[in-house]
Amino acid sequence: MSPATVSHHRLLAGVDESGRGPLAGPVVAAAVILDPENRIEGLADSKTLTPKIRERLALLVQQRTLSWALGRADVEEIDRLNILQATLLAMQRAINSLSLSPRHVMIDGNHCPPLACLATAVVKGDVQVPAISAASILAKVDRDRLMRELDSQYPMYGFAKHKGYPTRSHLAALREHGPCPAHRRTFAPVKNLLADKEVKPLAIRL
């Protein structure tokens, strides 16, 4: 689509995040402006899709949309700001990194970050708004990749399998090894372990 054509469309960006609930790793947000003349079939809430389908759709989103971008907030920012504010920061970063400036941003959930344009929070937006579905897929694929990278650094935790969520195996590994630098210190299971003087966090740098 040419710039002249784009200017006549209402530029709507969909925004979603991945990684609010895990005990480790960053929170990742994505922003997507779909091309109304280049439809992508199969967009849905990323949690309902298999990894293989997510990867395929993420590639299509990157190839066929008018603009897309990612934003992240790292573990230190999550612990300093709290997970909600860190998530909103990641969303801001994704939106501000778009190559086109949206006129309207629709965000999955019930909170919006401060933005210069109109912003609307949409509960369950990832199943209602295609642009938000596309963003949810990009955010999930990117965060899963980052967690696989962390797994190669800290293989004892199983990050590639549970992606940092508090599964039984993850909690068992935390009790056995203590937290590593990728863990969120303010999240209760990690915080409680750090409060135990017998548990020493791993002295490994990211």
Q: Is the pLDDT of residue 197 over 60?
A: no
Instruction: Give the least confident one: 33-42, 111-120, 150-159, 196-205.
Output: 196-205
- Residue 200 domain-assigned (yes or no): no
* CA distances, 74 to each of 27, 78, 141, 165 (Å): 7, 6, 17, 16
Check whether residue 169 and residue 142 sit in a common domain: no
**Whether 146 and 47 share a structural domain:** yes
Whether 26 and 73 map to the same domain: the answer is yes
- Number of domains, the chain: 2
Q: Are residues 14 and 52 in the same domain?
A: yes
Report H helices in 10-50: none
52 with 137, same domain? yes
CATH of residue 48's domain is 3.30.420.10
Same domain, 142 and 177: no
Q: Which residues contact 23 (CB under 8 A, 6 or more apart)?
A: 164, 165, 166, 170, 174, 183, 184, 187, 189, 190
* 160 in the same domain as 140: no
In a domain, 143, yes or no: yes
143 and 178 share one domain: no
Q: How confident is the model at residue 10 (pLDDT cuts 50, 70, 90)?
A: confident
User: What residues make up the domain containing 167?
Assistant: 154-195
- Is the pTM higher than 0.95? no
- Tell me the mean pLDDT in the region 184-202: 78
84 and 148 in a common domain: yes
Residue 202 resides in a domain: no
What confidence category does residue 7 fall into, taking pLDDT thresholds of 50, 70 and 90? very low
